[in-house]
């Protein structure tokens, strides 16, 4: 058996997320069907992280085990020939049997893109949140976010339905910057709670529009005021890097 690692990119617009589901089309199911055409066996894939419905990935890492003579670096071209244009394998390699796409990961990196221009941009509309009512203060947003770096309990930024035992995780770095009309929110963490990034961005936008103060933002997550965290950013602006 060989363990093959893939670097996967996908447009999540028309997928129900990464993980297989009974009554919806997922990225995992689509990828495993492509592998089936090569191996003629049902093979399970494992990913570095799960993405929700409508969320994209520019560098999802996946692995699977296969008994096949095909070289590890050939799977990218082979799988791409069976996959829809919304999923691309950027690279494939053979790795050690002890390496795991999820458990060997040192951190995960998500990027959220906000289009803060007055007018929509059709070329990026499917991959960004057009928030145009007010000019966002990205410096205020960045200052409000910095206290979240480190290990904390982010219960306030966890959507209902999570099966995690606790809501403690470690944010390694948060970087918020403006590139012309785009505001990029980059968050690196050892792991993410269900819906965490979209809830954080939803609250930070309120800070950037000066609807809530940085102090209120901090008070909400530090004191686990989940009922006050109601605004969630739409899925289409989120990308698993």
| Burial class, 153, CB count within 10 angstroms (exposed 0-12 / middle 13-18 / buried 19+) | middle
Is 77 an active-site residue? no
- pLDDT for the residue 206: 97
Per-residue pLDDT of the chain (241 residues; tens, 9 = 90+): 999 999 999 999 999 999 999 889 999 999 999 999 998 889 999 999 999 999 999 999 999 999 988 999 999 999 999 999 999 999 999 999 999 999 999 999 999 999 999 999 999 999 999 999 999 999 999 999 999 999 999 999 999 877 788 999 999 999 999 999 999 999 999 999 999 999 999 999 999 999 999 999 999 999 999 999 999 999 999 999 9
User: What is the Cα–Cα distance from 154 to 168, expressed in whole angstroms?
Assistant: 6
CB 49 within 8 A of CB 232: no
**pTM for the whole structure:** 0.94
> Is residue 13 a contact partner of residue 126, using CB atoms and an 8 Å limit?
yes
Residues 6+ apart with CB under 8 A from 217: 144, 203, 204, 206, 207
Opening angle at CA 88, ends 83 and 90, nearest 5: 135
Burial group, residue 163, by CB count within 10 angstroms (0-12, 13-18, 19+): exposed
Each as own residue / partner, the long-range contacts of residues 33-42 (CB below 8 Å, 24 or more positions apart, any chain) are 33/82, 34/79, 34/82, 34/83, 35/64, 35/66, 35/79, 37/82, 38/68, 38/70, 38/75, 38/78, 38/79, 38/82, 39/66, 39/67, 39/68, 41/66, 41/67
pLDDT at residue 160, rounded to an integer: 81
Q: How far apart are CA 22 and CA 10, in angstroms?
A: 20
What are the pLDDT digits (tens) for 155-196? 999 998 777 889 999 999 999 999 999 999 999 999 999 999
CB 199 within 8 A of CB 159: yes
Of residues 52, 67, 137, 219, which has the active-site annotation? 52
> 201-217 pLDDT, tens per residue?
999 999 999 999 999 99
């Amino acid at each position: 058996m060989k363990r093959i690692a893939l670097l996967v990119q996908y447009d999540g617009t028309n997928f129900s997320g990464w993980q297989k589901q009974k009554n919806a089309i997922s990225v995992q199911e689509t990828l495993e069907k492509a592998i089936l055409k090569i191996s003629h066996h049902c093979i399970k894939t494992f990913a570095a992280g799960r993405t929700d419905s409508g969320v994209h990935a520019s560098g999802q890492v996946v692995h699977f085990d296969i008994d096949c003579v095909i070289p590890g670096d050939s799977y990218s071209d082979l799988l791409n020939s069976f996959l829809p244009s919304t999923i691309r394998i950027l690279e494939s390699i053979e790795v050690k049997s002890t390496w795991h796409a999820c458990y060997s990961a040192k951190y995960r990196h998500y990027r959220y893109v906000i289009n803060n221009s007055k007018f929509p941009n059709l070329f990026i509309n499917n991959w960004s949140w057009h928030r145009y009512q007010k000019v966002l203060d990205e410096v205020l947003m960045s200052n409000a976010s910095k206290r979240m770096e480190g290990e904390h309990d982010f219960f306030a930024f966890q959507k209902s339905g999570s099966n995690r035992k606790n809501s403690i995780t470690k944010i390694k770095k948060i970087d918020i910057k403006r590139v012309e009309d785009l505001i990029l929110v980059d968050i690196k963490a050892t792991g993410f709670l269900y819906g965490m990034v979209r809830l954080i961005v939803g609250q930070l936008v309120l800070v950037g529009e000066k609807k809530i103060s940085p102090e209120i933002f901090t008070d909400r997550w530090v004191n686990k005021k989940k009922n006050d965290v109601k605004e969630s950013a739409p899925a289409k602006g989120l990308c698993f890097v």
